[in-house]
Amino acid sequence: MGALLALAMTGFICIVTETLPAGLLPQLAEGLNISRPLAGQLVTAYAIGSLIAAIPLTIATRSWRRRSVLLLTIVGFLIFNTVTALSFNVWLTLLARFFAGVSAGLAWSLLAGYARRMVPDFMQGRAMAVAMVGTPVALSLGVPAGTWLGNLVGWRMAFGVMSILTLGLIGWVLAKVPDYPGESGAKALGLRPVLSTPGVRSILSVVIVWMLAHNILYTYIADFVSLSGLLAHVDVILLVFGLSALVGIGFAGRFVDRWLRLCVLVSLAIFALVALLFALFPVQTMVIYAGVALWGITFGGAATLLQTALADSAGDGADVALSMNVVAWNSAIAGGGIVGGLLLNRWGADSFPWALLILLAAGFCIALAARRHGFRPGARTGTL
């Protein structure tokens, strides 16, 4: 458990490092003497680094011992968050953010496979749920806490605290996380064979449409809840979402090894129901709060469910497949901002739920059809 929680802490640092600038945008812009739109590119630079690096770095390092790769990513966060905290030059800061994203891209492709190797086959899904718990904790507690700290003592100190946490994580990994050999050249699969493995493309397609639907709403949640007069309570709504996501990851950890397919289908169906309720009752306060709670539960378990299915389908190519998942996930984040912005400008925030319904229906149909390869019925392995 100590080793799995160290992986969870790595994910926590990935998420907080990525999203911290969004909560401190005015202070960053003032501190670097730049405009807010340019300051917003600190988030973009991080995402681009993850997108570009995930697949090639995963392939390049797959023969390395696993703990060495994990420590490399964590040291990357230490270096580049420290540079961000100390830099007074916008281009140096953007470069540091880009390479922090590179570290994250490699980390995300590593964590799920690492967690699976620590436990017997029939506990792999639960192990991944523990390793992924850093994401909802970061979204529900870490990001608000980082924003509060940045407002209290300055954005540089907030990034400095991230470096201190990362330094402690290095010691934690050295003390608790077991080491494993990498893949031999003969065993390692290339990008094309992994992508051609039955089930992999279906799962990645579900990742894209599910996370695109999620990010359309999450990115523009303030605009959507303003329809019901809740703009001043966005922080409370996001807290409800984050706490619900923790509940979701608990459910996923409990049921993923026995009922992975059912969990995916039910999650997509519930999210679609929430979208329908949002479409029909966009100004009802209780509908918004209840819908956000259900949405958070479905999102909380998504990473565990989808990465477990992907790793199972890819087999020996799991690390490469999970690096593709990083690209798909980050593409959906970027796509959510773009598509949501277009919808907002063209039809307004009340168009979001209808777009979500279309995407989630597509994801449900893909998952339903991937019964033989991808989202298989029954227990994953062995007798639970």
Domain housing 349: 191-369
- Mark whether 236 and 260 lie in a shared domain: yes
Number of domains in the chain: 2
Distance CA 159, CA 168 (A): 15
- Mark whether 236 and 302 lie in a shared domain: yes
pLDDT higher than threshold 60 for residue 185: no
Given 126, 145, 176, the domain boundary residue is 176
Q: Is residue 380 part of a domain?
A: no
pLDDT higher than threshold 80 for residue 165: yes
- Mark whether 220 and 344 lie in a shared domain: yes
Question: From the DSSP assignment, how many helices (H) and strands (E) are in the chain?
Answer: 17, 0
pLDDT higher than threshold 70 for residue 30: yes
pTM for this prediction: 0.79
Instruction: Please identify which residue in the block is written with the tokens 């980390």.
Output: 107
Give tens-digit pLDDT for 109-129.
888 788 888 888 778 777 877
- Mark whether 141 and 220 lie in a shared domain: no
- Mark whether 262 and 115 lie in a shared domain: no
- pLDDT band (50, 70, 90) for residue 190: low
Q: What pLDDT score was predicted for residue 119?
A: 86
Three state DSSP letters for 184-217: CCCCCCCHHHHHHCCCHHHHHHHHHHHHHHHHHH
- pLDDT band (50, 70, 90) for residue 276: very high
Q: What pLDDT score was predicted for residue 103?
A: 94
Distance CA 263, CA 307 (A): 13
Q: What pLDDT score was predicted for residue 360?
A: 97
Q: What pLDDT score was predicted for residue 380?
A: 63
Q: Is residue 172 part of a domain?
A: yes
Tell me the C-alpha to C-alpha distance, in Å, between residue 206 and each of 8, 210, 250, 315, 369.
Answer: 24, 6, 21, 19, 11
- Mark whether 248 and 127 lie in a shared domain: no
Q: Is residue 311 part of a domain?
A: yes
Q: What pLDDT score was predicted for residue 141?
A: 74
Specify the range with the lowest mean pLDDT, choosing from 155-159, 273-277, 360-364.
155-159
- Mark whether 100 and 211 lie in a shared domain: no
- Mark whether 313 and 168 lie in a shared domain: no
Q: Is residue 377 part of a domain?
A: no
Specify the CATH number for the domain of residue 319. 1.20.1250.20
- Mark whether 218 and 331 lie in a shared domain: yes
Specify the range with the lowest mean pLDDT, choosing from 100-104, 197-201, 363-367.
197-201
Q: What pLDDT score was predicted for residue 382?
A: 37
- Mark whether 203 and 152 lie in a shared domain: no
Q: Is residue 123 part of a domain?
A: yes
Give tens-digit pLDDT for 283-306.
899 999 999 999 999 998 898 899
Q: Is residue 185 part of a domain?
A: no
- Mark whether 159 and 223 lie in a shared domain: no
Given 124, 146, 176, the domain boundary residue is 176
- Mark whether 342 and 263 lie in a shared domain: yes
Given 176, 202, 219, the domain boundary residue is 176
Give tens-digit pLDDT for 46-82.
888 888 888 888 888 888 898 999 999 999 999 999 9
Q: Is residue 269 part of a domain?
A: yes
Distance CA 96, CA 99 (A): 5
